[in-house]
Amino acid sequence: MKIKRFIIFILLAVLLVPATYASDRQYVLLISLDGFRWDYINRGLSPNIEWIAENGVEALSLEQVFPTKTFPTHYAIVSGLYAENHGMISNSFIDWETGERFALRNREMVESAKYYQGEAVWETLRRNGIVTASYFWPGSEMDIEYRRPHYYHQYDHERPHLERIEGIIEWLQLPEDERPQFMTLYYSDVDSEGHRTGPYSDELNDTIELVDSLMGVLLDRLEDIDMLDRINIILVSDHGMTEVSPERVIELHHVLDDYDVVTDGVGPVTMIKPENPDDIEEIYSRLKDEEENYRVYLKENIPDYWHYSSHAYIMPIMVVADLGWSLSPRPYDPARGYFATGGNHGYDNKYLDMHGIFYAMGPAFKEGYRTGTLRSIDIYPLILEIFGIEARSGIDGDLNNIRYILRE
């Protein structure tokens, strides 16, 4: 009898193992609403986003890396690295090895894997046998196959909103062995409108309602395919937004015109590289003497908390405007003054106006849980923890800072 009961126990255990593993199969959808500031949810215009926050984890805000610009911050989220370590130091910068300028409109450079250091989360998951997919994300189009998600779309700013959602739904309906367990989804609308009309405009509020309606469609479609209760949704934004004005423009040309220099950046940050290294200290001193509504640093003295001084592409002098002020290396031309009208971002990441959102719900997350400010660099190890995979060594993110939002 004992032998018979033992055999029955073993058979039951064998039969139950597949069911147990099937129920533990994790899915993660990482969504970015570009430029959705931490406090936009408080305007009462986003009931679907509020529903996600209320039924999962709601962070006060999401602190991004410096500079608070789209490519540096998005790649920090998926790599767990500060900008000086992942190499994407801005949306535009000069590659001093080649003399070429990295620019978002240059598709060849955007796809070049040399500019994306570290390892994105989809790379780590691929190495561990997890199928991945991306409906847009900076870095997802790299020109090395194994560094991309298994499925991906080349960025198309005009791609219809609902088509992106249907792309996610189609992936989730693939046969299980082909179905991605990790996916990304991206919308730029809030950022674009924030730049055009500022963070307090009626047009911006209309755009908040638009992207919220898209989240409502996504939730409904996930429910249609019986995935809403099975998928972990992580909803973030890459930065916030602050008001700028032509009345708050700082012109630097009266100093820089006296020297032969290369400058990079208008708005929140301007970097300066004198052709003659002997001019570095003199230019720095002159800018320092006039320091008002901005701060100027030598590369070696950039504040430690920005983690922004060790990369080769960073120039010897960096000028950072105070919140809401704009820098112009040349005389300011209102006809070309897009950066000084409406809204902008890229400032010190400690400013609350630069903080984004973090809301997460799903089987891996606590329910109805509110917490304080989280750090974007901790999201990479968090995602890997959901899949039971150890993060790669040498990252800047720390799972211990964020693990507590997961269910026991």
Residue 327, domain CATH:
3.30.1360.180
What pLDDT is recorded for position 19? Answer: 34
Same domain, 198 and 325: no
Q: Which residues are catalytic?
A: 70
Q: Which ranges in 234-354 belong to alpha helices (H)?
A: 253-256, 280-289
Given a contact cutoff of 8 angstroms between Cβ atoms, the answer to whether 345 and 68 are in contact is yes
Domain boundary among 314, 341, 368: 341
Residue 334 has pLDDT above 90, yes or no: no
Same domain, 358 and 324: no
Same domain, 208 and 79: yes
Q: Is residue 236 part of a domain?
A: yes
Residue 239 has pLDDT above 90, yes or no: yes
- What is the number of structural domains in the chain? 2
| DSSP 8-state code for residue 376 | G
Domain that holds residue 91: 25-242+350-405
Same domain, 385 and 271: no
Chain segment 197-215, per-residue pLDDT in tens: 999 999 999 999 999 999 9
CATH number reported for the structural domain that contains residue 180 in this entry: 3.40.720.10
Same domain, 36 and 81: yes
Phi and psi, residue 67, nearest 5° = -80, 150
- Band (2; pLDDT cuts 50, 70, 90): very low
Domain boundary among 298, 316, 341: 341
pTM of the shown model: 0.93
Q: Is residue 14 part of a domain?
A: no
Same domain, 52 and 199: yes
Same domain, 220 and 262: no
